Amino acid sequence: MSSEKFIQNNTALTTLIAACLVVLISLSVRQVFGMFFMDFNRDLGISNTEFGLAIGIQMLGWGLSGPIFGAIADKYGGHKAISLAFVFYIVGIYFLYSGPNTGLFFQIHLGLLIGIGCGGTAISIPMSIVGKHFPLSNRTIAMSLVTSVGSFGYFLSPLFTNYSLNNYGWVETLFFFMIFLIFGLIIAFFVRSPTLKQTIEKPNSQSTIGALKEAFQNKSYVLLTAGFFVCGFHITLVGTHVPKYVIDRGLDDWTAAMILSLVGFFNIFGSLLSGYMSTKMSKKIILSGIYFLRGISIILFISLPASNVTAFLFGASFGFLWLSTVPATVGIVAHIFGTKYLGLLYGLVFLSHQIGSFFGAYLGGLFYDLYGSYDYAWYLAIALSIFAAIIHLPIKEKPVLRLQTE
């Protein structure tokens, strides 16, 4: 079958559409927890540090469960892995909604259960399943469609959440989230891995252990994994703590919601452009440029006088760079190692991302409680931008010898 044909078969089309909707729902809910902090602080007595810890645990749960769901998807099918993850997600929201939801329970529900739910529903697993259906020539474009549709959820969700919190309160808003996630559970049934007849990957007998050993002996994979740590630190620091940061600087709560919406809106274009450019030029150069520009965006945001204009410019610029790292990162993994174990191998890269997310969430809250300011968290984010921009440059974008000789 020609690799120039974008949609290879009906299963590929159905999977692409369903994966887009799954990510849309999952990320829409995940993106806005920072907007609940004031309510959790007032009604549940949750401190900045406790909230940051819960989001950090959520990120770790997301990251640690990702390779497990990836292995399940690679072996038993994407729909089974994603459906199981949605069950965890729904249970976490239910207990956060109904209680008990303070102390350790808050950490388990918002942190662990929702984190595990994200591990199989948000980005990595749906995208890796989509990647299995598309050849190298247009794989990153297909995967960028998934991230861009998810970004549309980033755009809509803060607006809806701000309206719902003001008119119905946080308890009812969580109930609405449960309904959305139940729809996601139904849609997950249609995210199907390709059959042996449909697969574009040449048959090989490589074992899971063999795939892991091959990956971690590859310098480029290790560098990519280290660099993705920075992506996680950035987006979780921004998504979790920017709402409070801009309010502390004298801006209104609707400004915080608008920043998150702009992040989602401009990420649509950033993800699509990244996916397209990844078919035309070096993916590592794209990634290096994205991380460098993130640092510039943060510097301008924290150094310019606080205003709605500077806040919105930050939301737009950082949003353009938000998930634009993902198509290029997944594309490099698939290009180097093939797609047979793409769910597992990208899941491990994403684990590094989520470890970074843990530190972004937790250190943001901790620094604020210790020093009354987010400044040190921003300085660390800028330093990490420079680190990531440099560390991607030595990556070699070529298939492993096993694929070159098949």
pLDDT, one tens digit per residue, over 339-356 is 888 888 988 998 899 899
| 294 falls within a domain | yes
| 215 falls within a domain | yes
| 277 falls within a domain | yes
Total domains present in the chain: 1
For residue 300, pLDDT over 80 is answered with: yes
Alpha-carbon span 312 to 258, nearest angstrom? 7
Q: What does pLDDT average to over the chain?
A: 89
What's the pLDDT at 159? 85
**What is the pLDDT confidence band of residue 202, given thresholds at 50, 70 and 90?**
low
Residue-number span of the structural domain to which 126 is assigned: 11-200+208-404
In a 13 Å sphere around the CA of 59, the CA atoms on its Cβ side amount to 30
pTM of the model: 0.80
What's the pLDDT at 2? 42
For residue 137, pLDDT over 80 is answered with: no
What's the pLDDT at 375? 92
Alpha-carbon span 84 to 120, nearest angstrom? 8
Structure tokens, 199: 């697969």
Interval 241-285: pLDDT, tens: 888 899 899 888 788 888 888 888 898 899 889 888 988 889 999
| 196 falls within a domain | yes
| 4 falls within a domain | no
* Mean pLDDT confidence for 173-183: 97
321: domain CATH number? 1.20.1250.20
What's the pLDDT at 144? 86
Structure tokens, 85: 């993850």
**What is the pLDDT confidence band of residue 303, given thresholds at 50, 70 and 90?**
very high
For residue 223, pLDDT over 80 is answered with: yes
Q: Which residues contact 41 (CB under 8 A, 6 or more apart)?
A: 47, 48, 51
What's the pLDDT at 116? 96
What's the pLDDT at 327? 86
What's the pLDDT at 279? 86
**Residue 29 near residue 181, CB atoms below 8 Å:** yes
| 1 falls within a domain | no
Side chain identity, residue 343:
G
| 293 falls within a domain | yes
86-95, 120-129, 134-143, 319-328: which has the highest mean pLDDT?
Answer: 86-95
| 3 falls within a domain | no
For residue 42, pLDDT over 70 is answered with: yes
For residue 1, pLDDT over 50 is answered with: no
